[in-house]
Amino acid sequence: MAERKHPDWIKVRAPTSPEYFRTRALLAELKLHTVCQEASCPNIGECFSHRTATFMLMGDVCTRNCPYCAVAHGKVRPLDPDEPRRIGEAVARLDLQHVVVTSVDRDDLRDGGAAHFAATAHAIKAALPAARVEVLVPDFKGAHASVATVVASPVDIYNHNIETVPSLYRKCRPGGRYEVSLDVLAYAKTVAREAGRDILTKAGVMLGLGEERAELLAVLRDLRAVGCDILTLGQYLRPSQDHLPVVRYVPPDEFIELKVIATAMGFRHAESGPLVRSSYHAWEHVN
């Protein structure tokens, strides 16, 4: 079947700003990975131009092989113990106000990389105490101890993506389980409150993979039921011919309508649009 042509509202201009090239050069100098580059994010020009990047921990190879994701799958390398320090240095040199840190899935590690996330959060705060730290974490296979390790570090936002509706998990996210992802978000809230902290939780969903509207709204209600504060909704874009095809391009007015619905459900903030990704405009989500 021929690939669907991208509608006009999906297209973005190639980045050309000096800040974009400065950010890219700094990341290369410090040997850091970003999901902006590894996942071919369409917003890389805008974010790099604002001196913002979503750092990707623990290498650029994932232990899972989700058929929608552009990140490479295969043999992983040992953790780099100096990586948290270098991210802290990059944050300070870019003078970032809001930092997003994510990772590949590392199912080979006993804690799924939770301690590495925590070390990075500490390094960022040590380098730039005023920076707000958002972590976009994997499901840690549902391990509450790993969730607690991350929450106990100086993070301000705990983000974990639901990605899609339950009926599409087997096709789109075979390494994950919908109920586990919901539980991870719920437990992050619980363990934070038990420690006297009130961190925000956040989740994202991709649209256009074949989900039905009623299913999507049910997911939004499930997220609110576990206390999720912030929601991102964006269009799935096929990274290559080897990935899942786009079933439908959701028009911008539908994204606007979904934002209204999500806000009425009680989300503190809903970022909804064709080019929205988990960390898109993340610095605005807590204002």
Please, what is the average pLDDT of the chain?
A: 87
Q: Which residue has the tokens 């870019």?
A: 94
pLDDT classification of 22: cutoffs 50, 70, 90:
confident
Q: Which residue has the tokens 């990605």?
A: 163
What mean pLDDT is predicted for residues 123-148?
96
What mean pLDDT is predicted for residues 199-206?
96
**Quick one: how far is CA 242 from the chain centroid?**
22
pLDDT at 255 over 90: yes
Q: Which is more confidently placed, 264 or 48?
A: 264
One-letter identity of residue 206 = M
Query: Tell me, what's the pLDDT at 73?
Result: 85
User: What is the pTM for the complete model shown?
Assistant: 0.87
3-class state of residue 263 by DSSP: helix
CA 148-150-152 angle, to 5 degrees, is: 65
CATH superfamily of the domain spanning 12-284: Aldolase class I (3.20.20.70)
pLDDT at 21 over 90: no
Query: Tell me, what's the pLDDT at 70?
Result: 80
What mean pLDDT is predicted for residues 116-137?
96
Spell out the domain ranges in the chain. Answer: 12-284
pLDDT at 7 over 80: no
Query: Tell me, what's the pLDDT at 12?
Result: 56
Q: Which is more confidently placed, 12 or 157?
A: 157
